Amino acid sequence: MAWRGCVLRWARADIISTATRGNRFTLNTQQRCSFRKAAKETKTKKGVIEETGPSHTEPSEGLIHKRGASPPVHPSVAYTHPRSFGRLVKPLVFTIGFTACSFGTAAIWQYESLKSRVQSYFDEVRADWLEKLRPQKQGDLRKWINQWWNGLSEGQRTVTGIIAANAVVFCCWRVPSLQHSMIKYFTSNPASKTLCFPMLLSTFSHYSFFHMAANMYVLWSFSSSIVSMLGREQFMAVYVSAGVISTMFSYVCKTASGRLGPSLGASGAIMTVLAAVCTKMPEAKLAIIFLPMYAFSAGNALKAIVAMDTAGLVLGWRYFDHAAHLGGALFGIWYIMYGHELIWKNREPLVKVWHDLRTKGPGGGGNGGSGPL
């Protein structure tokens, strides 16, 4: 009778377990006798994980480091996970080549700007003369925009294009059909198959409006100082190079630590601008926008920022991409102390070659010319 009772209990429990299969709890079907039956291994059918929970290949939002906020990671974007420094050779070559091309283009751009300044002076004189003869229009929107534009400093006019580019990319993040391309090309990740182009494009990419607004406010605030120090052309070369260099520094640190993950945002380039100004003018007074009553020197602010990002990198804080911040700050300090002399002051051979090509080319004035400007 005891054995029969055990069999009945087992049969009844098995029926109950079958009836409740698929619920959130599992009924214990072991007998209350002197022996126990081995528990059966549950075999999950293919596709069950996709139906009941998120896939394990989809990174969580918290792993997307905040040089920007957390965009939704598209599950079809492929990532590899090797901790091999050999994969960073191509990004390193891209960083060196892009930086060289940026400063070379800036040198030629400055040459062309100086050359056309004489002609533009006569054009402005003629335009002012015609403006006096032309009757003034009341409420002209174009005139109001021109007055606003002319009232900006050269630095503010220079960064307006950068802010506009960041705003366009921010809007693209809101288009569902572009999510795959945005994650592939506008987030930088050393585990991604696409390594080079995101190093530049992610510098103009923000997913969070607050983060974009904060970065662009800092850029706007320091634009007049940095452009007056470096000039428009040299500033643009430093800014885009800083975005690539800070991303390369982030790649190296992520690969070394094994904490791979995507990042985006202009914070690396912004840190270069901030560090350059603070290094050049360490006694300048700065203040936080929400706490204007507390002022501190630019040198102390730079030391605090570098210390915080160093601590975040060593301790493994993952909310911000501290490696990119630190790489951008170190590049800004190095450029003001050494880079300007090593790179920009030695641009004359390139400018001379360009000048020779311009003067010997069609319409270049034959063999005339008095040398590079």
Q: Cβ contacts of residue 69 below 8 Å, gap of 6+?
A: 206, 207, 208, 210, 211
What b/e string do you get for 83-101 counting C-beta neighbours within 10 Å, with b at 16 or more?
A: eeeebbeebeebbeebbee
Name the catalytic one among 65, 206, 267, 322. 267
**CA quadruple 186, 187, 190, 193: dihedral positive or negative?**
negative
Nearest to 239 by CA among 158, 299, 183: 158
What b/e string do you get for 229-264 counting C-beta neighbours within 10 Å, with b at 16 or more?
A: bbbbbbbbbbbbbbbbbbbbbbbbbbbeeeebbbbb
Indicate if 81 belongs to the active site. no
Question: 294 by DSSP, 3-state: which?
Answer: strand
Spatial separation of the C-alpha atoms in residues 80 and 28, rounded to whole Å: 41
What are the residue ranges of helices labelled H in the chain?
Answer: 2-19, 48-52, 89-133, 141-150, 154-172, 179-185, 197-201, 209-230, 232-257, 267-280, 298-315, 322-334, 340-342, 348-360
Nearest to 66 by CA among 294, 263, 311, 343: 263
The one-letter code for the residue type at 84 is: S
Measured in whole angstroms, how far is the alpha carbon of residue 358 from the centre of its chain?
36
The one-letter code for the residue type at 287 is: A
Q: Report the DSSP beta bridge partners of residue 287.
A: 295
Name the catalytic one among 65, 206, 325, 355. 325
Spatial separation of the C-alpha atoms in residues 247 and 328, rounded to whole Å: 9
Indicate if 267 belongs to the active site. yes
Residues taking part in catalysis: 267, 325
